[in-house]
Amino acid sequence: MSCNCNEEHVNPLIPEIVVIKKMRVDTQDVTTFRVTKPGGGKPFEHMPGQCAMISVPPLGEAIFSITSSPTEKNFMEFSVKRCGEVTEYLHSLEVGSEIGVRGPYGNNFPVDDVLKGKDLLFIGGGIGLAPIRSVINYVMDNREDYGKVDILYGSRTPGDLVQSEDIFENWPSRPNTKVHLTVDHETEGWDGHVGFVPNYIKEIEFSTDKVALICGPPIMIKYSLQTLLEIGFKKEQIYTTLELKMKCGIGKCGRCNIGDKYVCKDGPVFRCDEIDELPDEY
């Protein structure tokens, strides 16, 4: 337990200071925060799917998925939906404000093994694009390592689609990459697809030799999973990411249990057959 170096071991609960470099308003309640260390650079390295704890004293901390790709060398991004105390406060800050961040926490999507060489189907709903975007951009930056890419992304209204630059411009312009957008209801000015994500999955008639990665509201995940199974996907081909209340992020505070797993360290990424093994409490 002792160590000969004179440096004090770092308490893993202490956040590092980062500066908000850019706040991009994505929708009426989602803003993407770009942060760097005060002297520039990322606060730490991560893999796609991992999370970080954002600190805004005196309102506390909350866990967010890192939406930027690890291939982004100069900064880190978080897409945050305004829906509670911490997020409300975050949204009220300005560029140049300093906040705290600690991480990375949890496991990641298997980008360097299982996903390599495969055709990929990304399915996102609303703010659920945040963790998926980290994987998509990682794949885009290592494009030759992966096969065909389909991105199916939906939200309630066109105004709720996040990351418009990526979904309308960057991704569709990449080789071998298709973006399928949908909104829940007819909206004036929207001439794209209308309908729920699970229905759209069925309509497109994807081939089933892909790996699917899903993230979105629990109800969307549930029905999308059901649809994928109906059209012939196996649970072993589908990954998703879960979210529960967290305080420590390091498997000690006892809050994000699902059965004997901790979402903060055993997750947040689970393969769907692994989720089947868990008790129904998420």
Partner 1 sequence: MMKKISKSQFSQLFSNIDKSYQLFLPVELDGKVNFDLWQEGDKVNIEKLKTNISPKSFIFPQSETYMKFKRDGKKLKIDNVSGKKEDYVIFGVRHCDASSFKLLDNVFLEEPVDRLYEQRREKGTIVTMACFEPEENCFCTSFGIKPQTAPIEVDVTTWDLGESILWQSQTQKGEALTEKLNDILEDAANQDKAELNSLQESTKGKVKELPLAKLDPTKITGELKDLFDSEIWQELSERCLGCGSCTFVCPTCHCYDVSDFKGDAQTGERFRCWDSCMFSDFTLMAHGNIRKTQKERVRQRFMHKLVYYPNNHEGVYACVGCGRCVEKCPVHLDIVKVIKKLGGE
Using CB under 8 A, which of 8, 113, 144, 205 touches partner 1? 8
Candidates 40, 45, 71, 98; binder of partner 1 (CB under 8 A) is: 98
- Determine which residue in the list 29, 118, 253, 274 makes contact with partner 1, applying CB under 8 A: 253
- The CA-CA-CA angle for residues 277, 51, 41, to 5°, reads 155
| 260 is a contact residue toward partner 1 (CB under 8 A) | yes
CB 35 within 8 A of CB 22: no
What letters, b where the CB count within 10 A reaches 16 and e where it falls short, cover 73-95? Answer: eebbbbbbbbeeebbebbbeeee
Measured in Å, how far apart are the chain's first and last C-alpha atoms? Answer: 36
Tell whether residue 14 is a contact of partner 1 (CB under 8 A).
Answer: yes
- Between 103 and 233, name the residue whose CB sits nearer to partner 1: 103
Phi then psi for residue 94, to 5 deg, are -120, 160
The token pair at 66 is 């890192």
Q: Is residue 257 within the footprint of partner 1 (CB under 8 A)?
A: yes
- Between 1 and 5, CB nearer to partner 1: 1
3-state secondary structure 12-39: CCCCEEEEEEEEEECCCCEEEEEEECCC
Query: What is the distance between the alpha carbons of residues 104 and 231, in angstroms, rounded to a whole number?
Result: 35
Which of 139, 197, 128 is closest to 163 using CA atoms?
128
- Residue 5 engages partner 1 in binding (rule: CB under 8 A): no
Min. distance of Cβ 220 from partner 1 in angstroms? Answer: 13
The structure tokens listed for 85 are 């105390």
Q: x/- contact string, 24-63, with partner 1 (CB under 8 A)?
A: ---------------------------------xxxxx--
Nearer to partner 1, 58 or 189 (CB): 58
Neighbours of 15 (CB within 10 A): 18
183 binds partner 1 (CB under 8 A): no
- Check binding of 150 to partner 1 (CB under 8 A): no
Query: Quick one: which of 99, 101, 121, 228 contacts partner 1 (CB under 8 A)?
Result: 99
Give me the least distance between CB of 231 and partner 1, in Å please: 27
Closer to partner 1 by CB, 169 or 277: give it.
277
CB of 96 to partner 1, least distance (A): 5
**123: closest CA among 234, 34, 27, 199?**
199
Euclidean distance between CA atoms 170 and 20, whole angstroms: 24
Shortest separation between residue 214's beta carbon and partner 1, angstroms: 17
The rounded distance, in Å, linking the Cα atoms of 157 and 187 is: 7
Asked if 209 interacts with partner 1 (CB under 8 A), we say no
Of the pair 140, 220, the CB lying nearest partner 1 is at 220
Residue 84 Cβ vs partner 1, minimum distance, rounded to whole Å: 4
Residues of the shown chain interacting with partner 1 in the complex, contacts defined by CB under 8 A = 1-2, 8-15, 17, 57-61, 83-84, 87, 94, 96-100, 243-245, 247-248, 250-255, 257, 259-260, 277, 279, 281-282
